[in-house]
Chains A and B, each alone.
Chain A
């Protein structure tokens, strides 16, 4: 090989640009996880509601996200909602909206699972010492539930990080898009550029997701004991 293709990664500002793209990806993921978590906690509390109607609506909301692929949701908001309301939304904004709403649905399910797994006598003994509804949640249920939902929540974060790779499809200049630009620029000179660039992006995602999923597994194992 006269020219090692891997050099394509170290030419000029390539690495820096990829890093900037990665920051865009990470930013979208981070903001969505935060918003999704807050909405999801509310959702989880709603889902423990006794009202059948509330339960049904929340369940429907979750199923709607589970049945329709996330990429379809990105399209619906990016093309459909903007069209219907006659507004313009940047891909980044669309991504944050969709991921947050999706995160809320999944997070809600995790919170519900955690709350329901708490032994019933916890609620009863909380009530027995005269705690109010909010006091019950604030001092008894939430602290215990947090421990139980942490592995699931971290797992969800990993899933959301991985899913952010899709934002390239709605025109966001993320790490994948930057990668594509670099490949296009150097494809004549370095035919193997796509191997190295996509290989690097592959590794970058792995570096972010692997520790998260390891952590989640560890917490899960700890919780089981």
Chain B
């Protein structure tokens, strides 16, 4: 098979731009997911009435429906009820809606893994509930749950491939366009896979490194 290098070079800027969009979406999606997940897991930990039930419903809805449908519902469905937002906003909200529940589950299991005696020993030196969460529970939960958080992060970066469906010029969308316009299928797909490898592999190494780093400070007992 002849590879049309000329074509690859000429579409490189297009893919570069798309890759940045993918990274941007993945970054904000992950960040917001972490925030949502953290808030949800703290609500679950304190068993705050009503909010706890809402969080549980949210987690089930989010985990048991596909991102594509969530996005379509947000982007096409809600706009028809007068709620309008840009594609990018919509994509990030969609990713955060999806990721938030995954992160919440990860944090929850991390918090559950902190032993009861750790909590008691925190209480016995007079820590308040908030201080207990901040200085004792979260640092340990974070270390336990780091592998899950990392997996979720990779998962969300991969899920950005779906938001092209609502007209965002990320990698998938650009590839679809390029294949449609120039019929250079092989080259386009090659660029697509290469772009994902360039994004996901370093991210994955970074997260593994971070995991080890965080774990180092934890667990001695």
Name 9 interchain pairs, CB-CB below 8 A, sorted by A: A67-B196, A71-B162, A72-B193, A75-B189, A83-B186, A164-B66, A183-B76, A194-B80, A209-B65
Contacts of B63 in A (CB 8 A): 209, 213
Indicate if A139 sits at the interface (CB-CB under 8 A).
Answer: no
- Please determine whether B73 and A202 come into contact, CB atoms closer than 8 angstroms: yes
Contacts of A70 in B (CB 8 A): 158
Q: Give chain B interface residues in 129-147, CB to chain A under 8 Å.
A: none
- Please determine whether B77 and A79 come into contact, CB atoms closer than 8 angstroms: no
Of A69, A83, A176, A183, which contacts B69 at CB under 8 A?
Answer: A176
The residue on A at minimum CB distance from B78 is: A195
- Please determine whether B73 and A199 come into contact, CB atoms closer than 8 angstroms: yes
The residue on A at minimum CB distance from B83 is: A195
Indicate if B68 sits at the interface (CB-CB under 8 A).
Answer: yes
Q: Give chain A interface residues in 62-117, CB to chain B under 8 Å.
A: 66-72, 75-76, 79-80, 83-84
Contacts of B67 in A (CB 8 A): 162, 165
Indicate if B211 sits at the interface (CB-CB under 8 A).
Answer: no
Indicate if B88 sits at the interface (CB-CB under 8 A).
Answer: no
- Please determine whether A169 and B165 come into contact, CB atoms closer than 8 angstroms: yes
Chain B residues touching A, range: 35 or more
Contact with A along B152-166 (1 / 0, CB 8 A): 001000110110010
- Please determine whether B64 and A198 come into contact, CB atoms closer than 8 angstroms: no
A66 and B110 CA atoms in complex are apart in Å by 24
Q: A76-B189, A191-B80 are known; give 17 further A-B pairs, CB within 8 A.
A: A67-B200, A69-B172, A71-B161, A71-B172, A75-B176, A79-B185, A79-B188, A83-B186, A84-B186, A163-B66, A164-B66, A176-B69, A183-B76, A193-B80, A194-B77, A201-B69, A206-B64
A71 and B155 CA atoms in complex are apart in Å by 13
Shortest beta-carbon distance from B191 to chain A in Å: 11
Shortest beta-carbon distance from A7 to chain B in Å: 15
Contacts of B27 in A (CB 8 A): none
Most chain A beta-carbon contacts within 10 A, residue among B66, B185, B201: B66
Indicate if B61 sits at the interface (CB-CB under 8 A).
Answer: yes
Q: Give chain B interface residues in 165-197, CB to chain A under 8 Å.
A: 165, 172, 175-176, 179, 185-186, 188-189, 192-193, 196-197
Most chain A beta-carbon contacts within 10 A, residue among B69, B70, B172, B176: B69
**Known contacts A69-B158, A176-B69, A198-B69; is-contact A75 B80 (Cβ 8 Å):** no
A166 and B172 CA atoms in complex are apart in Å by 12
Contacts of A66 in B (CB 8 A): 154
- Please determine whether A198 and B73 come into contact, CB atoms closer than 8 angstroms: yes
A69 and B155 CA atoms in complex are apart in Å by 9
Indicate if A158 sits at the interface (CB-CB under 8 A).
Answer: yes
Indicate if A48 sits at the interface (CB-CB under 8 A).
Answer: no
- Please determine whether A209 and B69 come into contact, CB atoms closer than 8 angstroms: no
Contact with A along B49-73 (1 / 0, CB 8 A): 0000000000011011111111011
Indicate if A205 sits at the interface (CB-CB under 8 A).
Answer: yes
Indicate if A192 sits at the interface (CB-CB under 8 A).
Answer: yes
Contacts of A223 in B (CB 8 A): none
The residue on B at minimum CB distance from A187 is: B80
The residue on A at minimum CB distance from B63 is: A213
A163 and B71 CA atoms in complex are apart in Å by 14
Contacts of A68 in B (CB 8 A): 158, 193, 196-197, 200
A197 and B63 CA atoms in complex are apart in Å by 20
**Known contacts A165-B69, A205-B64, A206-B64; is-contact A75 B175 (Cβ 8 Å):** yes
Contacts of A176 in B (CB 8 A): 68-69, 72
Contacts of B158 in A (CB 8 A): 68-70
The residue on A at minimum CB distance from B1 is: A84
